[in-house]
Chains A and B, each alone.
Chain A
Amino acid sequence: MLVHSRKAKWAVWLVFAVLFLPLFALPLLVVLGASFATNWSGVLPSGFTVSHYTAATRGEALQALTTSLVTALTASLLALTVGTWAALAAAGLKKRQRRLLDALFVLPVAVPSVVVGLAILVAFSKPPVLLNGTRWIVILAHAVLVTAFAHQSVSAAIVRLDPAYEQAAASLGARPVYVLWRIRLPLLLPSLTAAAGLCFALSMGELSATMMLYPPDWTTLPVLIYSATDRGALFAGSALAVVLMTATLLVLLIVSRVRTRASYR
């Protein structure tokens, strides 16, 4: 549309490929290639092996994967509940109160995750609520970090909701709770699952706050990847990273399946 001659088109595509491939495709390919290799001193990795993967799917690594999955699932559910509740409640408020509530709930995006970690560490390392050293401190930190994203995507969807359905239901005598449960939440289901996927992916890859908080018996996969690369085991770390990406993508795929089915209802 913008460029008409064939020659110019190819020139533009060439520039695109030169920019796009090395910057975005190469890093992922490098990590994937390295995960199957024992050393990399030339252009291509050498010493094909799957031993990193056998190591990455048992013992400590498997434990870390389960830890990450449990953390991400729990944190996403908590964040989704609180974020959706806040978004629904905000929709019923007056404009100024709603803005205040929205601002409050996006604040965790702007605060550095390291600081969120530090703050939670400072607050829950002493009575009355002593959580330091337990898995809950990690899960709660993740929940705080992703709540903002859940809240944002759900409140964006509420704005687009057609009020005719709930008004019709209410005019037929449905109580607010019934309208919420049978009309609004089902209509919001596609965006709720999208938000759940986003929260899950963010929590799976969360490193900053986790580094501040994790107890020795609740090591998430990103922390394990860091400790592997930190002691020089780059190839093992790559295999762990591929496991992390695959697990994230699999869950996202399942979530998007739920979403398509929900939007067809």
Chain B
Amino acid sequence: MSEVVRRVRGGGGWARSSPRPLGVALPPVLILTLLFLYPLALVVQQSFQPGTAYGDVFASELFRTALWTTVWIAVVSTLECLVLGFVLALVIAFVPFPGARTVARFIDVYLSFPSFLITLALLFIYGTTGIVGSFQFLATPWGVLLAEVTYFTPFVMRPVLAAFSQVDTAQLEAASSLGARAPRIIRQVILPEALPALAAGGSLVLVLCLNEFGIVLFTGAKGVTTLPMLVYSKAILESDYPGACVVAVVNVLISVGLYGLYRVVSRRVGA
């Protein structure tokens, strides 16, 4: 009897064991290989073409600035998204106000809009003839930072809100009746519950920030060049494909490396 149960539970039962599971998996893998892996391999190959040594690209001031700008904007935006997303989700979940559910639903809708809308709005607020008036805020990295924090904070809020909905409010009441004040409850009860969600959301936002293109493109600023922007300008504006491929490989290595870390971390913490 226990043998049967184990077979059903563990092996996935009869229905899952189709004749050749590997054969069934083959068509989608082939499609992905043709449309994604093979093109990516060609980019790597192009980046190693003679005449466009990696050294040239690494030595260029533009590339080094772009690399630094990309990384620091992404890291700082991620940290700000984490803090802001945590605080906002905290209020929605634990100090609920009439309409808090609507706000939570608004967050979901917000996620389905493209990122460049934020920059478009900021162009009116901080642009040359705008609400705040003319100063070249958007042409600086700070403008990009503001746009990224605005757009990506909901990506942290959603998993954190999901985690908060699992928190038993009796725990909070107990802590509170034992004399713990709000900061202590947040630190010792709520924060530990939210950590996996914060880790998962934060690393996703970090990768998305490193790869963000629309926000930077829409600022129209020549002052802010990130790696994706450099790939675009090298390939499309200068037709320097080998150079674009080198930058692309660097960008992919950074992002995929961080994303791999994210997958490992989120599997560890069980998110």
CB within 8 Å of B: which residues of A? 1-4, 9, 12-13, 15-16, 19-20, 23-24, 26-28, 30-31, 34, 39-43, 82-83, 85-86, 88-93, 97, 101, 103-116, 118-124, 140, 143-144, 147, 163, 166-167, 169-171, 174, 176, 179, 183-184, 197-198, 201-202, 204-208, 211-212, 222, 225-226, 229-230, 234, 237-238, 241, 244-245, 248-249, 252
Q: A34-B124, A170-B14 are in contact. Are A85 and B231 (CB under 8 A)?
A: no
| A107 with B232, Cβ < 8 A, contacts A93-B25, A208-B214, A237-B120 known | no
Pair B263/A207 contact, Cβ less than 8 Å: no
| Closest A residue by C-beta to B131 | A43
- Are B207 and A109 in contact, CB atoms less than 8 angstroms apart? yes
Asked whether A101 and B120 contact (CB < 8 A) given A41-B129, A107-B256, the answer is: no
A187 to chain B, nearest CB (A): 12
Question: What residues on A are CB-neighbors of B149 within 8 Å?
Answer: 23
The answer to whether A27 and B87 touch (CB under 8 A), given A3-B182, A116-B36, is no
Contact between chains at A208 and B213 (CB < 8 Å): yes
Chain A residues with Cβ under 8 A from B255's Cβ? 110-112
Assess the A104–B29 pair: CB atoms within 8 A: yes
**Contact among A109, A143, A167 with B14 in the assembled complex (CB-CB below 8 Å):** A167
B95 touches A118 (CB 8 A): no
Residues on the A chain within 8 Å of B92, using CB: 16
Pair A30/B36 contact, Cβ less than 8 Å: no
Interface string of B105-133 (1 = CB under 8 A from A): 01001101111111011111101011100
- Contact residue among B24, B207, B227 (Cβ-Cβ distance under 8 Å from A110): B207
CB atoms of A110 and B172 under 8 A apart: no
Number of B residues contacting the other chain (C-beta, 8 Å)? 94
* Contact indicator per residue, chain B 1-23, by CB within 8 Å of chain A (1) or not (0): 00000001000111111110110
Residues of B within 8 A of A229 (CB): 120, 123, 218, 220
- Whether A143 lies near B245 (C-beta < 8 A) is no
Q: With a CB–CB cut-off of 8 A, which chain B residues contact A23?
A: 84, 149-150, 153
Q: Which of A2, A40, A89, A167 is the one whose CB lies under 8 Å from B15?
A: A167
Smallest beta-carbon distance B146→chain A, Å: 9
Is A115 within 8 A of B116, CB to CB?
A: no
User: In the complex, how many angstroms separate the beta carbon of A65 from the nearest chain B beta carbon?
Assistant: 14
**Is B124's CB under 8 angstroms from A40's CB?**
yes
Q: Which residues from B are CB-within-8-Å of A205?
A: 112-116
Are A82 and B185 touching (Cβ within 8 A)?
A: no
